[in-house]
């Protein structure tokens, strides 16, 4: 069965400890999906000008954040890797002449393991992490995702982990979303549901409040959307599964594309 692909906001690392509407949604989503043969995640927290691929047989857990409760640094997600799946991805990239590089020993960053810990808490599904390049054009990012579309027919779950509204410098004490965040997410939603690539690829010029929603220092959190959209280019369907907010300027949304 062909699996859908997902853009999933990973929000604050504290999601790993929290029990709220969004974390319960992630738990249900993982249960509904069953057990895919493997999981491939484009992570906002791995930004590189070259396409990178983890090839480890076993992953360590990165605690790539600071200033959090001590309990956060004790959490682990000891998921296995899948060198054969990494090789399959490499072959697909090679077929499309995409320069790429295998990486050993990086571990899983929190953009990967925080959401997977909620979705698949047993950590028994092989995971391959992929970098994103926030400086590529949206069309290039989309095309990289399209290279991996065959994996969806092979029991592989494709995820883009990031955040459509992700402004750490404007965080609030409460979760009430800022009006500009609502406007930006609504604009993206309308274009996604219409699969309006022309508008989405020009989001930095057309979307309202784009400088607040996608600040220059945080562009890498938005671009995983384009990678997973590319993997769904054949069907061109997008469905919003949940919309929530943290601290007013972090949107917690999940988009299913197929």
Can you tell me the distance from the alpha carbon of 27 to that of 16, in angstroms, rounded to the nearest whole number? 11
* Domain boundaries, position 66: 5-257
pLDDT, tens digit (0-9, with 9 covering 90-100), for 212-251 = 999 999 999 999 999 999 999 999 999 999 999 999 999 9
pLDDT, tens digit (0-9, with 9 covering 90-100), for 146-163 = 999 999 999 999 999 999
Asked if residues 161 and 44 have their Cβ atoms less than 8 Å apart, the reply is yes
- Phi, psi angle pair for 125, to nearest 5°: -105, 130
Q: What is the pLDDT of residue 241?
A: 98
pLDDT, tens digit (0-9, with 9 covering 90-100), for 98-128 = 999 999 999 999 999 999 999 999 999 999 9
Does position 1 have pLDDT exceeding 90, yes or no? no
Residues 6+ apart with CB under 8 A from 52: 46, 100, 101, 102, 103, 130, 131
**Tally of domains within the chain:** 1
CATH code of the domain containing 26: 3.40.830.10
DSSP-derived secondary structure letter, 175: -
pLDDT, tens digit (0-9, with 9 covering 90-100), for 15-33 = 999 999 999 999 999 999 9
Q: What is the mean pLDDT of the chain?
A: 97
Half-sphere exposure of 19 (CA within 13 A, CB side): 0
Three-point CA angle 157, 252, 143, nearest 5° = 45
- The pair of structure tokens assigned to 61 is 């857990």
* 22-31 contacts, C-beta under 8 A, 24 or more apart: 22/242, 22/244, 22/252, 23/118, 25/241, 25/242, 25/254, 26/115, 26/118, 26/119, 26/254, 27/118, 27/119, 27/121, 29/119, 29/241, 29/254, 30/118, 30/119, 30/120, 30/121
Place of tokens 């219409």: 194
pLDDT, tens digit (0-9, with 9 covering 90-100), for 84-95 = 999 999 999 999
């Amino acid at each position: 069965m062909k699996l859908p692909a997902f853009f999933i906001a990973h929000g604050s690392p504290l999601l790993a400890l929290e029990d709220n509407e969004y974390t319960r949604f992630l738990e249900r989503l993982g249960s509904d999906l069953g057990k895919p043969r493997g999981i491939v995640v484009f992570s906002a927290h791995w930004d590189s000008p070259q396409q990178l691929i983890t090839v480890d047989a076993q992953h360590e857990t990165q605690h790539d954040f600071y200033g959090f409760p001590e309990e956060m640094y004790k959490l682990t997600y000891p998921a296995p890797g899948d060198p054969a799946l990494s090789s399959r991805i490499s072959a697909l990239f090679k077929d499309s002449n995409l320069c790429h590089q295998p990486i050993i020993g990086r571990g899983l960053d929190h953009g990967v393991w925080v959401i997977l810990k909620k979705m698949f808490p047993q950590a028994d599904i092989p995971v391959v992490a992929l970098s994103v390049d926030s400086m590529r054009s949206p069309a290039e990012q989309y095309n990289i995702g399209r290279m991996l579309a065959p994996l969806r027919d092979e029991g592989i779950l494709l995820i883009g982990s990031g955040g459509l509204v992700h402004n750490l410098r404007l965080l609030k004490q409460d979760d009430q979303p800022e009006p500009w965040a609502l406007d930006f997410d609504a604009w993206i939603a309308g274009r996604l549901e219409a699969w309006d690539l022309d508008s989405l690829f020009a989001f930095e010029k057309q979307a309202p409040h784009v400088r607040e929603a996608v600040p220059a220092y945080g562009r890498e959190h938005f671009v995983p959307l384009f990678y997973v959209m590319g993997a769904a280019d054949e069907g061109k369907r997008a469905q919003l599964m949940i919309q929530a907010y943290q601290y007013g300027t972090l949107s917690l949304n999940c988009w299913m594309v197929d």
